[in-house]
Structure 1
Amino acid sequence: MLLLCFCSETWGRGPKDLEQNPAVQRFRTYLRIPTVHPESDYAPAIEFLQGQAKEIGLPTKIFEFVPKKPILLMTWKGSSKEKLQSVILNSHMDVVTVEEDKWKYPPFEAYMDEDGDIYARGSQDMKVVGMMYLEAIRILKAKGWAPVRDIHVLWVPDEELAGLDGWGKFYLSKEFDELNAGVVLDEGHISYNNSYIVNNEEKAVWWLIIQATGETGHGSLYFDNSASENMFKSFASINAFRDSQMSLVRSGEKPLEEVVVINSVFLKSGSPTPDGFTMNIQPSFVEAGFDLRIPPVKEMGHFMNKIIEEEWAPKGRNMSCYFKVKTEDETGEIPSTTADDTNPWWSLMEKAVSKFNATVSAERANGASDSRYARMRGVSAFGLTAIQNVPFLIHSHNERMNGYEFLRGISVTTEVVNLYGSFSGYTKSNKAVL
């Protein structure tokens, strides 16, 4: 059984009011569950979340399209007899790996310091968002409020692996169709200056694998078009292109959201030995991986495919490539969600944050989220992390969330859920406006 005691002796002693706040303690409990890749164990997280749902009074279902990759659904039924579209509050349970020796405090201890900063992997990406959803529902239920349309809280696996075994299976399923979704709320960006960044579109993710082959032989010889030589030529071309994109950003000519981002993530070659590699054999095979983020313009996709084919992995140099992930629809498009007053979901979000003397700003996400799957089904999807004024440390060492900002974010999230759940009107043709 999952131990759910709140033990300040082991968690660090932060400000007394935060130590005694039940919402903060529930958040820290969730953070202590290490749903970390590469082998995420979701069972303890599911157990904890089902316990929360039972406390709050939300019935649950579990879908498992891939073994050991559960999707947990919590539902608050709406009162309307009309077939109003539902609201989905989406959160992924998984977190990325950690280098524990680089952390000030253990990354799964949820240590809180004297300033109220809670150190934990997932404290920004994105366990904080999921817990703000649950705390918002707790508050609304305590007030006696009830939605007119169904509100679903969705907990999914493997978003950090492009969502292939989570939303990647779910969005084409009958289970998704049965939810009759009108809008999906998902993770967004840390915001500053009392304006909340809301992601209404994102770049495509291309995880590109390039392979090179060539003759093998003694390290004292030269071979034309060796595997390593050909791969180094590709690296030179890729780095030149990368420098050109970085220059556009550094000069201020274009923001990061409008350029292609490419980074090398692995390189494999050589003949391994127990203590390293054989130093006098030229490898016959070299493989490299690259993470590309492509702006949502179809023409840019065509351009990049041409560069890859002709310069980065040309067959004439004994090279080949494939995509481990390519997040776009069958036409090569990357759908976006309209963020203006023609979309009632956007207008409602503007109204919600205005109650806190704040504004919203629609922006393209540099990273990827599960929102894209909803957009590919024609459903409005917005990325909102209702947190401001904390250092952006997603996927970084010492990722942390301030407890006071967490509580403030709950208030904002509560108002968004309130207005979305209270909205009794229809969108165009009872479908999301895109």
Structure 2
Amino acid sequence: MQEDKWTYKPFSAHMDEQGNIYARGAQDMKSVGIQYLEAIRWLMSKGVTLRRTLHVTFVPDEEIGGKDGMAVFVKTNLFKNLNVCFALDEGMASETDVFALYYGERSIWQVMFYCPGHTGHGSLLLENTPGEKVAYLLKKIYEFRKTQQDKLTDNPDMTLGDVTTVNVTKLNGGVQNNVIPPEFTFVMDSRIALSVDLQKYEEMLNRWCQEAGQGVHFKVDKKQMHIPATKLDATNPFWMAFKEVTDRLGLKLKPQVFPGGTDSRYLRAVGIPALGFSPINNTPILLHDNDEFLNRCTFVRGIRYYCDILQQVAEVEERSG
């Protein structure tokens, strides 16, 4: 976000004549947090009594992986004593009239490749140089990336969460323009689809390194294993309740795997079903972007949706016996 790229001050929450509210977090995620609180306040004002208790959590560090936030919180006695059975988390805006409904997440692997080799003067044609090894790995990475792009192109029903994304995000090495460095390193950010066998994926990375040349290896800085997705069938009464109320409201849902990462993965990892849903449709996707905005009518309508959704899922009967 660059403040000088905004039409209005990013923390002013300016509303224009069309009712568009411009603010950092208007879509991700101040809006949804406030909508939950407003929906709960409305239910309390009407004297609504629910079968289950609603807990609202605001925890830190979600944007940097949540390792000091939800990842820690779910392991505490405080959290365990809440006896949580189901969770609602953030979703994403939709540019159409269909709402995105997220039931799972890809595994995040941040891979550091190490490419050592012969160092020497830049005027020479040495063998076994680090740059050649980097070039080979980049070729393999972007060939693989193209296969995933082709999957999306060939099947319009697939979404980004159904494929594996790989992107080179950092390159390091060298201090002088005329000296071949002893090593190059680079980082590949990888979000691995739930359909991918992680052992075979790691074997593929090892094979690339062996083919690239002597001494090439990798280390995974962030290596998440697959976490089972939340079931969207009759075995999950909370999903059935959620679907019942959204059907009644006439909301069109597109269930999919979230392309990024949210705190839901830590809830699912301890066996708690979680759905990611933001009541934002017919809106340009501008999370983390300049001129992020949300229309006033969309915001207020989302509060009404949450009023109905929270009542429905909080009335699910205890069936554990």
Q: Give your verdict on TM over 0.5.
A: yes
What is the aligned partner in structure 2 of residue 404 from structure 1?
Answer: 297
Identity %: 34
**Bigger relative CO (Cα 8 Å, ≥ 6 apart):** 2
Unaligned runs of at least 5 residues, structure 1: 1-97, 272-277
Look up the SS of the partner of 2:58 in the other structure: strand
Q: Whole-Å Cα distance in 2 between the matches of residues 150 and 347 of structure 1?
A: 19
CA contact (8 A) 1:102 1:397 kept: yes
CA contact (8 A) 1:186 1:381 kept: yes
- 1:269 maps to 2:170: no
Deviations 1:102-147 (A, max 9, x none): 3333333322222122222222122211111111111111111133
What is the aligned partner in structure 2 of residue 285 from structure 1?
Answer: 183
Look up the SS of the partner of 1:107 in the other structure: coil
Look up the SS of the partner of 2:194 in the other structure: coil
Q: Whole-Å Cα distance in 1 between the matches of residues 284 and 209 of structure 2?
A: 36
Structure 1 segment 118-267 matched on structure 2, within 5 A? 118-191=21-94, 194-252=97-155, 255=158, 256-267=160-171
Structure 1 segment 336-347 matched on structure 2, within 5 A? 336-347=229-240
The counterpart of 1:349, out of the listed 242, 261, 281, is: 242
Deviations 1:31-64 (A, max 9, x none): xxxxxxxxxxxxxxxxxxxxxxxxxxxxxxxxxx
Q: Whole-Å Cα distance in 2 between the matches of residues 310 and 153 of structure 1?
A: 46
Look up the SS of the partner of 1:225 in the other structure: coil
The alpha-carbon distance between structure 1 residues 254 and 402, as it changes in their structure 2 partners (threshold 3 A), is closer
Once the 2 structures are TM-superposed, how far is the Cα of residue 364 of structure 1 from its aligned partner?
1.6
- 1:377 maps to 2:273: no
CA contact (8 A) 2:8 2:22 kept: yes
> Aligned partner of 1:281: which letter?
V
Once the 2 structures are TM-superposed, how far is the Cα of residue 297 of structure 1 from its aligned partner?
2.6
- 1:297 maps to 2:190: no
The counterpart of 2:218, out of the listed 321, 324, 327, is: 321
Once the 2 structures are TM-superposed, how far is the Cα of residue 384 of structure 1 from its aligned partner?
0.8
CA contact (8 A) 1:248 1:254 kept: no
Count matched residues. Answer: 320
Q: Whole-Å Cα distance in 1 between the matches of residues 298 and 289 of structure 2?
A: 19
Look up the SS of the partner of 2:108 in the other structure: strand
Q: Whole-Å Cα distance in 1 between the matches of residues 260 and 53 of structure 2?
A: 29
Once the 2 structures are TM-superposed, how far is the Cα of residue 249 of structure 1 from its aligned partner?
1.6
Once the 2 structures are TM-superposed, how far is the Cα of residue 253 of structure 1 from its aligned partner?
7.3
Please, what is the CA RMSD of the aligned residues? Answer: 2.1
CA contact (8 A) 2:209 2:217 kept: no
CA contact (8 A) 2:95 2:285 kept: no
Q: Whole-Å Cα distance in 2 between the matches of residues 395 and 193 of structure 1?
A: 19
What is the aligned partner in structure 2 of residue 426 from structure 1?
Answer: 318
CA contact (8 A) 2:96 2:283 kept: no
Once the 2 structures are TM-superposed, how far is the Cα of residue 404 of structure 1 from its aligned partner?
1.3
Once the 2 structures are TM-superposed, how far is the Cα of residue 262 of structure 1 from its aligned partner?
0.9
